[in-house]
Amino acid sequence: MRIAYLDCFAGIAGDMFLGALIDAGVPPDVLHDATAALNLNASLRIAKVDRSGITCTKVDVLENNRLAEQVQHSHSHSHQPKTQHLHKTGHAHTDDHPHQDNVHDHQYADPHTHGRSLTAIRALISSAALSAPVKDFAIRTFDLLGHAEARIHNVPVDEIHFHEVGAVDAIVDIVAASAAIHYLSVDAWHSSPINVGSGMVKCAHGNFPVPAPATADLLRGIPTYSAHIEKELTTPTGAALLRALNPSFGPQPAMQIANIGYGAGTRNPPGFPNALRLFISEPTEQTHAGNTDKHIQPVDTVTVLETALDDLSPQLLAHVAEAALSQGALDAMLTPVIMKKGRPGTLLTLLCNPTDTAKFEQLLLRETSTLGIRIRQDRRVTLDRAHTTVATPYGDIRIKVASHDGKILNIAPEFEDCRIAASNHRTPIKLVQQTAISAYTQASTKTADNGSLEA
């Protein structure tokens, strides 16, 4: 199982995330191809830059062979103080750009680079030649951005146009990041608390304290802090990507690091490495706290979604549980509970990989009568699992073998194999199960006698 850890000591923005992904080993063509599929006449410029002595990858979005931010900049006529990652409302100049003291607020209504609605962006991504998982993640990220803005302005999400959401560089950042995330096939994402920075930032509607309103809304429930520098360190695009990933937050988990990526932000303040660091690895084995056994078991993180229902048909409850399993949930459980006013109800609990959380959120909200879902992330210890097949008088039966440190701790015949065999031979299922276990034990003993089985 592959895991990743985002070290957000300098916050997170779309360009920083793209740079870290490439620096950690994602082929640039993955991002180039995703950008080209949007048909926005946009491209990426990828370069190595220095951030306080650290070599990082910097990614810029070009529109018509010019920086997308400069294209937006040319449509504006008002000046604003410089900001850290631009937040997609102005142009944050790099050290190589002239006019360093000002950036521009782009309030000009250009349908190509400004004011796209969420509906238009969904259609743009849906029509692109991208795989379904890439489209789904990108659209989910934009939905998070859009709904955050809608809450802030108290208007229906489909009735407003977003300068931030609609900008070409924001669209490319999110879609290219989605393609890179899909390429990595990370099973579990983890993240440090998020440094949001401090100070003031000018948005389309005026000056606001850092974090900007959309960023603050997207970071609800996520551990954040402000340190080191008086600049905007986390942007709405970065916050939306983080929210869509739904990582576990906390210290870096125990891991054997295979790749490290540094993605550069636009600014290069003295003495502060303005970069996002990404670790990619395979997980190491861990123990529970207090376990001093030198042989340790693998620990991973799962998302738990649960809701208690007292007004839903048992037929629909069974349907939702089956649908969740068919869509890749790790487990689905239905537990009888007593709810308020003494009503009998059912606690529906789903376990899934953290990267699949949003999919199962939508399943529960769409298919049940719930008004809300509790979501948490739990750590679990698992045994190593393998399958083998044994021959019995009732046919071949698969056996699930669970082991730890090379020692077999549990064996179990696959129930469906036993059920089919019992039906075909008109014999009790328990007899087929016992016969399969006996066949496996005899085969294991024989192999052990030959000296080739680890016991």
Tokens for 108? 């000009």
Q: What is the pLDDT of residue 76?
A: 42
Q: Which residues contact 383 (CB under 8 A, 6 or more apart)?
A: 297, 402, 403, 404, 409, 410
Q: What is the pLDDT of residue 355?
A: 75
Q: Which residues contact 366 (CB under 8 A, 6 or more apart)?
A: none
Q: For residues 281-313, b (16+ Cβ closer than 10 Å) or e, as one string?
A: bebeebeeeeeeeeebbebbbbbbbbbbbeebe
Q: What is the pLDDT of residue 87?
A: 35
Q: What is the pLDDT of residue 71?
A: 53
pLDDT in tens, 77-100: 333 333 333 333 333 333 433 333
Q: What is the pLDDT of residue 255?
A: 85
pLDDT in tens, 221-270: 899 999 888 899 999 999 999 999 989 898 898 888 999 999 999 989 98
Say how many CA atoms lie within 13 Å of 29 toward its Cβ.
0
Domains of the chain: 3-282 (no CATH), 297-381 (3.30.70.1380), 384-449 (3.10.20.300)
CA dist 116 and 190 (Å) reads: 32
Tokens for 7? 């070290």
Mean pLDDT of each 10-residue bin along the chain, 455 residues long: 91 97 96 96 95 95 76 43 34 36 33 65 93 91 86 76 68 96 90 93 77 91 90 93 91 89 93 96 49 44 92 94 91 95 94 86 94 88 84 93 84 92 94 93 74 44
Q: What is the pLDDT of residue 449?
A: 60
Q: What is the pLDDT of residue 158?
A: 72
